[in-house]
Amino acid sequence: MFCELYVLGTLGNMFVSVNYMFSWWGSPEKKPIHLILTHLAFTNILILLTKGLQTVAAFGLRNFLDDTGCKSIVYLERVSRGLSICTSSLLTVVQAIIISPRASGWRKLRPKSAWHILPFLLFFWILNGLISMNLIHSITGTGFNISQLENSDSYCYFMLESQEIKWIVLPLMVLRDAVFQGAMGGASGYMVFLLHKHHQHVLYLQNSKLLYRTPPELRAAQSVLLLMLCFVFFYWADCAFSLILSLCSRDKTMMVNTQEFLALGYATFSPFVLIHRDGLLVDCRHAQMEKLRKCHSRLYVQ
């Protein structure tokens, strides 16, 4: 089951990242949202690949990676999960600023170009890299350094950390999640308010029998809101199952599998939310048809 999730999610995120990357490079106007979505898809790919490698290593392939590989995989997984939260929050905030009214003070914060987003993405990498630094010292490969764990089902062994390090790392992770999810919640609420006002405006125009088309910015906002609902569901469901697992003393096999599914849920299904809402497959097919039409036209002229 998980193998299919890894493959499906990775292919979906690769399609989304390549699509938005070409849209970003090919367009004269570099849209910040396209850069953020490309980074989010890349982050999802990192999550799926690192979890997939850990699954392969846990299924008896002890020599699949050495001790350094074990540290690198777990470290990258923790960093990419933090990046997913930060990037999703940035996506929501930027989209809320983009659709804000012209008279609003938030409009002044609208990024002029995609290059203004790069410092934020760099900051996210540095922040999550530093927060996860403790894993490099507290993880070792069971197949290499700890002979008494040869029969363990786990490939990577978490050694006990000092209380000082725990009380530094844990509050930082909680603070990071609280700040970025708070920003995500505030921006989502603001977008819901603006979309409600837009809906009332559309109803008024329909009653007046006037033709009106929804701006692409508002359609994008609807896609981002759906994406955030997906994130919130999988994030808190994962947290709830992790808490239940820590308190449960009975057979946990089914619950562990459910928790693994929830941990991979957002990274796996978020690209398909974008593909469905933004019509990426339709856009891609239209682009291919346009290329074929131009190619046939050239051949006909020759």
The pLDDT value recorded for residue 82 is 95
Could you tell me how far CA 49 lies from the centroid of its own chain?
A: 13
Q: What is the number of H-type helices and E-type strands within the chain?
A: 10, 2
CA dist., res. 135 & res. 158, Å (int): 8
Per-residue pLDDT reduced to its tens digit, 62-101 = 556 677 778 888 899 999 999 999 999 999 999 999 888 8
Residue 206 clears pLDDT 60, i.e. is over it: no
For residue 29, the model assigns a pLDDT of: 67
Q: Are 13 and 267 in contact (CB under 8 A)?
A: yes
Q: What is the pLDDT of residues 37-57, one digit of tens each?
A: 999 999 999 999 998 887 776
Q: Which residue has the tokens 């929501």?
A: 92
For 111-130, how does the pLDDT look when each residue is reduced to its tens digit (9 = 90+)? 877 788 999 999 999 999 99
Give the predicted TM-score (pTM) of the model.
0.82
User: Taking the mean position of all CA atoms in its chain, how far away is CA 131?
Assistant: 18
